[in-house]
Structure 1
Amino acid sequence: MSELLQTVLDSEERSDLRQFFSEIRHQDKKYLLRNDILMSYVEYCNKYQKSAEFYSGSHLGKLIYYTQEIILENGNLCLIIRQKIASQEFYRITEDLMVEVLTIQELLDVRDRFVNRYHPNEGDILELDFGPFYDYTPTIRDPKNIGKGVQYLNRYLSSKLFQDPRQWLESMFNFLQVHQYDGIQLLINGRIKSHQQLSDQIKRAIAFVGDRASEEPYENFKFDLQMMGFEPGWGNTAGRVQDTLSILDELIDSPDPQTLEAFISRIPMIFKIALVSSHGWFGQEGVLGRPDTGGQVVYILDQVKSLEKQLQEDTTLAGLDGMNVKPKVVILTRLIPNSDGTLCNQRLEKVYGTENAWILRVPLREFNPKLTQNWISRFELWPYLETFAIDAEKELLAELHGKPDLIIGNYSDGNLVAFLLSRRMKITQCNIAHALEKSKYLFSNLYWQDLEDKYHFSLQFTADLIAMNAANFVISSTYQEIVGTRDSVGQYESYKSFTMPDLYHVVSGVELFSPKFNVVPPGVNESYYFPYSRMEDRVPSDRERVEDLLFTLDDPVQAYGKLDDPSKRPIFSVARLDRIKNLTGLAECFGKSEALQEHCNLILIAGKLRVEESEDNEEKDEIVKLYSIIDQYNLHGKIRWLGVRLPKSASGEVYRVIADRHGIFVQPALFEAFGLTVLEAMISGLPTFATQFGGPLEIIQDKVNGFYINPTHLEETADKILEFVTKCEQNPNYWYEISTRGIDRVYSTYTWKIHTTRLLSLARIYGFWNFISKENREDLLRYLEALFYLIYRPRAQQLLEQHMHR
């Protein structure tokens, strides 16, 4: 039993526990989440006049703090206690405080009974348990190290491998032999016939290049190195070749994990990368802000540009320019014939600002052209992904003239396609989720049957389980994306155990302590987003146009609302109009605070202005709601709502123009997986207020370079913004201080150069360990295939049949 629970039961607080549980039993709610529990505890302490010390310092107070859920069943309380990150305990407590430890299977049955979906007379339900597949793989022990998987993997496997010097040298020798580019041998050739000879020749080659000028080009002495057994790939100059060979020499003589990582990160083994963003509307003009695409398109385009640049840089440093090596990056997405004037109906589109990065579009098969020739919501795309992957494989092989060296999935559908392609082509698979829907929609798994017609969560969550377990490594933007915080469950953690009533029970859905998880935050595109103070890089005519658009332009097609006093300090936000992004919540927060309205205007850039222009039901609801809030709080003259799609150059200038007027940026999402707009605002110099639920919690250091807000507490949020505005009016330097610290924060931690260097290093290191350890994942992959063919595919076929009759 939990030591904390036992302490409460053995102390004088036992009577308070009994009384509090009695209060819980008499509530209308039968399923309480953490916020409900804390609010109930506040009410209990107020009702019985408990001291502040008792509320927060008592053992009972701590127990309540760590209790994530309470389910009432037949007078008993089922408690889910999460005293440690990534670890939960389950108990049933009776009215007389008898405690029974529950297994995960028993807890899932309780949840099924709660929604009247427990049928013991019909036999057991399918249980999914991935735990055994991780029993024989290394796992991290300390939760603090979750998300630092490659560091742990290096230490763990290095220590095992280095214990046997002969095996270690033989493994490294075999690894160096396999590298080629388009059939041309790299690194070592047949003149080096053994690991012992390799060691000797390395020392000889180091001495040889050491006698040459450090900057002497590799081409001048490549034939000498070839005679010693060394092919291109060691470096582009004598100095670079010497450095690389010296690292390997040190690694052979006295191996350690840091030297190993430094060496593997230099190996030329990745030249072709495929990124999958399958649900479409993926383009560079006229598509940003469409439902389902905005943030993901921005992220991938910026990532691809940086990846290609880094691959070119790595290729040059490796000395491969003379071989005419041209790294290539392909974004795989779907082709949409009815593309609404965009380029989404073109098979191939070059990515702006790159030499060899492309958007490759593959059409869906025409099961029902009324659907497949048009955009399809991410919630409806599932029936087409298997055949899309089959067709995409042929297109990728043709476009890349061979297999990619790395495939990166994006979002649930893209990750499933990446799994199918990786399985067929036997290549390294990386997963990037951006956001997992399961944690965005409350009780989405418990009530999946009620939501199935609209969201098809049974397919989505099954796809997530398959992809995250199949991936060789997983990139998350933040630590909490994986395992949350002390008082919140992480996105991946929410897949640890859950029920899909009448479908399956997930006993162990993901190993959170697996070294496959790595935190690699994205960057911000510095070509478009840079500090407002860099006037030499700003275009005066762009600035004037943006100022007019934001504050004065009278155009009912693009703008709603005319500002009575455009000189007021602007509060600015930009996002698509959906429930989670919560721009309507920000408008209501502004509407409820007359003091804030006296000092500021609210400016929103948000999707469409009219319901009839939208194809997305949630966006339509939010449009109606936003108009209602403007009328309810009489915000006419104080709010301006722009329904525009801006190119990146203009969106960067928007932030800077707001900063020119000493404005602020507010990101009010109910949950934000990362927060790219937070980075864009901060690097532009805007003091930023962002949701405390999700990624911004790790980007911003509260009251140092930005501010946290709880978007569900409207008055509190308004007070925080007003406090900042008041301080700035009293001390104008305060705005500059927060602005400067925000800029510094982004440049030190969140650049695409940092991101892609780390991502490629991870891909090489995981590829190395897969080769060396020859890890047999076939049992896991077969299990995942069974899940795909026996659960996913039949449900996808059912959805396809529905689509055929539309």
Structure 2
Amino acid sequence: MQTETGKSKATAPAPESGEEQSSHRPLKIAMISLHGLIRGRDPELGRDADTGGQIKYVLELARAVAAHPKVAEVELLTRQIIDPAVGPDYAQLEEPIAENAKIVRIPFGPKRYLRKESLWPYVEMFIDQTLAHFRRHGLPDVIHAHYADAGLAGAQLSRLLRIPFVFTGHSLGRVKQQRLSMGKSSPETLEKKYKFTARIEAEEIALETASMVVTSTNQEVVQQYELYDHYVPSRMEIIPPGVDLSAFTPPTADWTCDPKLRAELARFLREPDRPMILTLARPDERKNLEMLVRVYGESKELQEKANLVMLLGTRDDLRQLPRAQQSIINNILYLIDRYDLYGSIAYPKQHAPQDVPELYRLAAALRGVFVNPALTEPFGLTLLEAGATGLPIVATNDGGPRDIIANCRNGLLIDPLNKDDIEHALLRVLTDPEEWQEWSANGIAGTREYYSWETHA
């Protein structure tokens, strides 16, 4: 990894002059997001640990920025993947996603799908290929990179081309390293699995180079970016992400849930019409899902008042998931058996994108609660989706949830490591009808007031 000169083997195209890069001309913006599975139609959110909220964020951001009158074009640069295991969509070199916005898939590294920790040796190849792409199709006016891997690439391209560089970290290596080091895994095991050395070095380079660093919350600035040597407070901009909430409407008086979704849940639940404790998260150690099952399993009062419904991504065969995800799901299945939660907990294997807003509406109609017990949460997209449908939220006292609940006043914060705290917050939402109604109404209004894409762009 190159850390000082930022030189690349390819010859860089000569940058345009300041006169040619006129501020009066609509901008061409290159966004970079390298890992996960990115496609414009029905993104496969939750398919694996790398295909989550960041994928949805960059797609919606690209569309929103492209619609701005001062923007001529947005290219979302990602990795071309030619792998029958993930399907043909990710091999397509270009894919329009909106007027003036498209995905451009750059071939680099092996053709097969790789998890993000395996991409580090190939970032320099992406830089070379992207320089060739810019030579063919013209330079952008701004480079905006997302996450550490793209941050490293964007910083190097910015240095080579003298183009302004914007960085959004999404989550940070130092923070994750600190949290996971409190667990049972050794530093050597964590380094082997998560490649923290490469990730943190890339984040330092991105922070050193960036003209602006986009953050979601004040806590993210003060408690997370401040851990870095190249943290510069004046470059930090707190811009709450926008969210497309058009699909996340509250249930109306004559609303009825999709019968297929009801039938799927009824396979698991003895009393499917009881209130619902709902969580949506991919099986990732940071999501703290086993703690939630323990809290529910050890609380007779919670079991009496509500079912627990967990959407843990999608899977066909558990054995085909990455080992870390297999381990978490197996641990959850063990806890279900240990606490004998059969009939009170649902964990469907599959769901379609259109099922998600329906599930939020069903939970709201049943006067339930949405819970996010993650150890760290930079933003919390699902919290906004749940709030927009009128479902009160209980969320970790960290990052995005702090700001969301402060702005929207639609739920409670919890210590994700404290079982009693989680239990008491869930019971409070489930047992106080006046507060439930107030939080529901506040979420419907607040999410739309504070988190629009128009404001973010």
Do the structures match in fold with TM over 0.5? yes
2:396 to 686, 691, 694: 691
Task: Provide the C-alpha distance between the structure 2 equivalents of 1:624 and 1:685, rounded to a whole number of angstroms.
Answer: 32
Number of the residue aligned with 2:199 = 460
Deviations 1:694-725 (A, max 9, x none): 22011103994211111211122112211221
- Which runs of no fewer than 5 residues in structure 2 stay unpaired? 5-16
Number of the residue aligned with 1:259 = none
1:346 to 92, 114, 117: 92
Number of the residue aligned with 1:622 = 328
1:377 aligns with 2:115: yes
1:742 to 418, 443, 454: 443
Task: Provide the C-alpha distance between the structure 1 equivalents of 2:405 and 2:43, rounded to a whole number of angstroms.
Answer: 31
1:492 aligns with 2:225: yes
Aligned partner of residue 568 in structure 1, secondary structure: coil
Number of the residue aligned with 1:274 = 30
Task: Provide the C-alpha distance between the structure 2 equivalents of 1:564 and 1:466, rounded to a whole number of angstroms.
Answer: 54
> Which one-letter code corresponds to 1:685 in the other structure?
G
User: Quick check: 2:245–2:385 contact (8 Å CA) kept in 1?
Assistant: no
Pick the structure with greater CA Rg.
1
2:49 to 265, 271, 291: 291
The within-5 A match list for 1:608-687 is 608=314, 610-614=317-321, 616-647=322-353, 649-687=354-392
Aligned partner of residue 442 in structure 1, secondary structure: helix
Change (3 A) 1:445 1:470: farther
1:423 aligns with 2:159: yes
> Which one-letter code corresponds to 1:335 in the other structure?
Q
Aligned partner of residue 213 in structure 2, secondary structure: strand
Number of the residue aligned with 2:143 = 407
Number of the residue aligned with 2:64 = 306
Number of the residue aligned with 2:9 = none
Number of the residue aligned with 2:10 = none
The within-5 A match list for 1:236-247 is none
Deviation at 1:180, TM superposition (A): 5.2
User: Quick check: 1:529–1:684 contact (8 Å CA) kept in 2?
Assistant: yes
Aligned partner of residue 580 in structure 1, secondary structure: helix
Change (3 A) 1:278 1:523: same
Deviation at 1:727, TM superposition (A): 1.4
Number of the residue aligned with 2:262 = 547
Task: Provide the C-alpha distance between the structure 2 equivalents of 1:696 and 1:592, rounded to a whole number of angstroms.
Answer: 25
Task: Provide the C-alpha distance between the structure 2 equivalents of 1:703 and 1:471, rounded to a whole number of angstroms.
Answer: 31
Change (3 A) 1:390 1:534: farther
Deviation at 1:277, TM superposition (A): 0.7
Task: Provide the C-alpha distance between the structure 2 equivalents of 1:703 and 1:301, rounded to a whole number of angstroms.
Answer: 24
Number of the residue aligned with 1:386 = 124
User: Quick check: 2:407–2:446 contact (8 Å CA) kept in 1?
Assistant: no
Deviations 1:62-95 (A, max 9, x none): xxxxxxxxxxxxxxxxxxxxxxxxxxxxxxxxxx
Task: Provide the C-alpha distance between the structure 1 equivalents of 2:408 and 2:444, rounded to a whole number of angstroms.
Answer: 14
1:361 to 105, 115, 118: 105
2:79 to 315, 334, 344: 334
1:563 aligns with 2:320: no
Over the aligned positions, Cα root-mean-square deviation in angstroms equals 2.5
Change (3 A) 1:457 1:746: same
Task: Provide the C-alpha distance between the structure 2 equivalents of 1:342 and 1:682, rounded to a whole number of angstroms.
Answer: 35
Which has the higher mean CA deviation after the structures are superposed, 604-613 or 671-680? 604-613
Deviations 1:522-567 (A, max 9, x none): 02112322333497xx8x6x73333333x22x4xxxxxxx211111
Provide TM-score, normalisation by structure 1.
0.51
**Identity percentage over the alignment?**
33
Change (3 A) 1:432 1:270: farther
User: Quick check: 1:476–1:482 contact (8 Å CA) kept in 2?
Assistant: yes
Deviation at 1:404, TM superposition (A): 0.7
Aligned partner of residue 116 in structure 2, secondary structure: coil
Aligned partner of residue 430 in structure 2, secondary structure: helix
Deviation at 1:178, TM superposition (A): 5.3
Number of the residue aligned with 2:452 = 751
Task: Provide the C-alpha distance between the structure 2 equivalents of 1:584 and 1:397, rounded to a whole number of angstroms.
Answer: 49
Aligned partner of residue 738 in structure 1, secondary structure: helix
- Which runs of no fewer than 5 residues in structure 1 stay unpaired? 1-127, 130-176, 187-266, 316-326, 366-371, 484-489, 496-508, 555-561, 757-806
Deviation at 1:287, TM superposition (A): 2.9
Which has the higher mean CA deviation after the structures are superposed, 336-345 or 661-670? 336-345
> Which one-letter code corresponds to 2:173 in the other structure?
E
Task: Provide the C-alpha distance between the structure 2 equivalents of 1:666 and 1:443, rounded to a whole number of angstroms.
Answer: 20
Change (3 A) 1:533 1:388: same
Deviations 1:716-746 (A, max 9, x none): 2112211221212xxxx43221101112221
Deviation at 1:282, TM superposition (A): 1.5
Change (3 A) 1:705 1:388: same
Deviation at 1:449, TM superposition (A): 4.9
Deviation at 1:443, TM superposition (A): 7.4
> Which one-letter code corresponds to 2:161 in the other structure?
M
Aligned length: 436
Aligned partner of residue 722 in structure 1, secondary structure: helix
Task: Provide the C-alpha distance between the structure 2 equivalents of 1:421 and 1:441, rounded to a whole number of angstroms.
Answer: 27
Task: Provide the C-alpha distance between the structure 1 equivalents of 2:181 and 2:108, rounded to a whole number of angstroms.
Answer: 28
User: Quick check: 2:378–2:399 contact (8 Å CA) kept in 1?
Assistant: yes
User: Quick check: 1:546–1:657 contact (8 Å CA) kept in 2?
Assistant: no
Aligned partner of residue 118 in structure 2, secondary structure: coil
Change (3 A) 1:440 1:639: same
Task: Provide the C-alpha distance between the structure 2 equivalents of 1:314 and 1:429, rounded to a whole number of angstroms.
Answer: 18
Provide TM-score, normalisation by structure 2.
0.89
Change (3 A) 1:466 1:282: same
